[in-house]
Amino acid sequence: MRAMSFELRDRDLLGRIGRLRTKSGTVETPAFMPVVNPVSQAIPPRRMMEEFGCDILITNAYIFRKHFGDMLDLEIHRFLDYNGVVATDSGAYQILVYGEVEASQEEIIEFQKRMGSDIAVILDIPTGWDVPRSKVEWTVEETLRRAEAAIPLIEGDEALWVGPVQGGTHLDLVERSAKAIASMPYQIHALGSPTEVMESYRFPILVDMIMVAKRNLPPERPLHLFGAGHPMVFSLAIALGCDMFDSAAYALYARDGRYLTPHGTKRLKSLSYLPCSCPVCRRRDAEELRGMLKGERVRLLSEHNLHVTMSEIDTVKQAIAEGALWELMEDRCRGHPALASALRGLYKYRDDLERGSPSYKGRGLFFFDSGCLARPEITRHIKRLEEQYLPSVTKGKLLLILAPERRPFNKAQQYARLKRNMEEGLDQASRDFHVCFYAPPFGVIPIELAETYPLSQFETAEPLDRETLEFASDSVARYVAKSSHKEVVIYSGKGTLDVLVESKCREACQEKGKELSVVSDLKPWGSEAMERLVNALRG
Ligand SMILES: [Zn+2]
């Protein structure tokens, strides 16, 4: 096998922009590989590269062997008239569809070497969909056995070899499969059989499958998601660490009159307009496209579908480069309720997402609702507060103040007035308190951190939903419980968040034997409320 070269350039969430070197050239990831049928090519590969920007494609070694195996010159780049990177699949998909193939793993491996594939796959056994657990176990063990047996056959080969992960929706078996294949010298891994999961819109389980595989595979090896070709899933899958995709969906959907968009699929027959800026859609309207002869219509629809697919990959890359992958993923996940559920399901993987994300982004954070609670900025803030920040605080009292209207909170006019009042009304001894603001979604924001990123640069959609307010108030109460202060003073309004913060902190203080006083007012920034606070602090 070829020495591995996969260099990472940029990252956001678990998504990354990388450069994968193969013997025929370097491919930037995330990359989409259109499936090219060697027997009938809807769009010639050369055009794919020149007009669509596909510098990598995938074709099927098994089908190629079946139809053209007797040819003298089997070199696949010449056969396809394509000088980009060619990946080959082994026929495993045909096993999934037809139950078996008429070739041994040795023959398929040898054939891929003769074809000059740049990226090649062993003849694994796809798990498939809706099969008994005993069968799933067998696909996992047989794939591992074949992966082990393939190692001496591919030693010294110039291609990059893919070690597939099977297990389907059985997460413990995905884990077993990923751990075992991770210990073998494959340069790329691929997660098998998600196609049916995606077609039945079971995106939450897809998230679990990817995350279990990802956690157990070496991070320095690219991860390919087999058979994923709908642009609406790219941002999510890439955010979870998938680097490569392959699919024939662009062509298959076209045959069926389906028009891809980054937010979902539409039927050509029900389109009044063509909402796309690709050359196909700019040159004609929906009526014209519908009126064409079938062959021409399918060809043009395939072209549109491929344009949209390639363009979405670039959109995701740009989002990674500017640190906006979460926002993009959120937008795409609103395209279907099942994707929105998957987005919510990310909460349990928040630590994984946080580890991958850069700590500073040159842009403010927009927070819409509880669907965003897994955002790495929030996870990181709460972790930092509870693990590193709290122990260093030594002031006598904790003064929790509701967030002023302007950011940064410590520079807000409302807080400046309150501060003046406290300075004028209190002697040195009564001023021994640590000021923290509380604000959703972050919870506690200590005054010293108010000007740091992203606490100085975030906007929330008001009013926030109950789940976000619960989340923020829980986080405040946890902070209060963990802090070393014996006395806590809350200065608040009368809103839902204020009420939640008060009741949860009261519970925490009771449990920890802390003294709590609360000054809450309908007009928290009025003189009267401020005076009450000064009195409370004096006492
Ligand atoms: Zn188009």
Secondary structure of 397-461 as H, E, C letters: EEEEEECCCCCCHHHCHHHHHHHHHHHHHCCCHHHCEEEEEEECCCEEEEHHHCCCCCCCCEEEC
The per-residue pLDDT string of the chain (539 residues; one tens digit each, 9 = 90 and over) reads 566 789 999 999 999 999 999 999 999 999 999 999 988 888 999 999 999 999 999 999 999 998 998 888 889 999 999 999 999 998 877 777 777 777 889 999 999 999 999 999 999 999 988 889 999 999 999 999 999 999 999 999 999 999 999 999 999 999 999 999 999 999 999 998 778 888 888 999 999 999 999 999 999 999 999 989 899 999 999 999 999 999 999 999 999 999 999 999 999 999 999 999 999 999 999 999 999 999 999 999 999 999 999 999 999 999 999 999 999 999 999 989 999 999 999 999 999 999 888 887 777 888 999 999 999 999 999 999 888 776 556 668 999 999 999 999 999 999 999 999 999 999 988 888 999 999 999 999 999 999 999 999 999 999 999 999 999 999 999 999 998 899 999 999 999 999 999 999 999 999 999 999 999 999 999 999 999 999 999 87
Q: Is the pTM of this model over 0.75?
A: yes
Hey, how many other C-beta atoms are within 10 angstroms of the C-beta on 226?
Answer: 25
Q: Give the type of residue at 104.
A: S
Residue 41 is predicted with a pLDDT of: 84
* CA atoms lying within 13 Å on the CB side of residue 506: 8
SS (H, E, C) 60-101: EHHHHHHHHCCCCCCCHHHHHCCCCEEEEECCHHHHHHHCCC
d(CA 263, ligand 1 centre) in Å: 14
* CB-based contacts of 539, cutoff 8 Å, min separation 6: none
**Cα(508)–Cα(480) distance, rounded to whole angstroms?**
7
**Cα(391)–Cα(25) distance, rounded to whole angstroms?**
52
Distances (CA, A) of 337 to 204, 231, 233, 334, 463: 11, 16, 13, 7, 22
d(CA 286, ligand 1 centre) in Å: 10
Q: At what angle do helices 105-115 and 61-68 cross, to 10 degrees?
A: 80
**Cα(111)–Cα(255) distance, rounded to whole angstroms?**
31
Measured torsion, CA atoms of residues 489, 492, 494, 497, in degrees rounded to the nearest 10: -90
Residue 44 is predicted with a pLDDT of: 95
* CB-based contacts of 196, cutoff 8 Å, min separation 6: 128, 129, 130
d(CA 14, ligand 1 centre) in Å: 30
- Return left, alpha or beta for 326; rule: phi > 0 is left, psi -120 to 50 is alpha, else beta: alpha
d(CA 35, ligand 1 centre) in Å: 19
Beta-sheet strand order (sheet of 515-520): 443-446, 433-439, 397-402, 487-492, 515-520
**Cα(458)–Cα(451) distance, rounded to whole angstroms?**
11
Q: At what angle do helices 203-216 and 231-239 cross, to 10 degrees?
A: 40
Helix (H, G, I), strand (E, B) or coil at 356: helix
d(CA 272, ligand 1 centre) in Å: 14
Q: Which residues of 34-69 are buried (b: 16+ CB within 10 A; e: fewer)?
A: bbbebeebbbebeebbeebebbbbbbbbbbbbbeee
Q: Per the structure block, which two tokens stand in for 342?
A: 């998957």
d(CA 279, ligand 1 centre) in Å: 7
Residue 2 is predicted with a pLDDT of: 61
d(CA 467, ligand 1 centre) in Å: 39
Closest to 33 in 3D by CA, of 51, 59, 4: 59
- Expressed in angstroms, the distance from the first to the final Cα of the chain is 75
Closest to 221 in 3D by CA, of 161, 279, 172, 166: 161
**Cα(122)–Cα(88) distance, rounded to whole angstroms?**
10
Residue 224 pairs in a beta bridge with 190, 244
**Contact call for residues 303 and 280 (beta carbons, < 8 A):** yes
Closest to 422 in 3D by CA, of 525, 539, 530, 517: 530
Dump the DSSP string for 470-528: HHHHHHHHHHHHHS--SEEEEEE-SSHHHHHHHHHHHHHHHHHT-EEEEEE-SSTTSHH
**Contact call for residues 120 and 161 (beta carbons, < 8 A):** yes
Residue 103 is predicted with a pLDDT of: 82
d(CA 198, ligand 1 centre) in Å: 23
Catalytically annotated residue among 12, 55, 89, 208: 89
Active site includes 427? no
d(CA 23, ligand 1 centre) in Å: 33
d(CA 495, ligand 1 centre) in Å: 48
d(CA 304, ligand 1 centre) in Å: 4
DSSP tag of 386: I
d(CA 261, ligand 1 centre) in Å: 9
**Contact call for residues 17 and 321 (beta carbons, < 8 A):** yes
d(CA 195, ligand 1 centre) in Å: 24
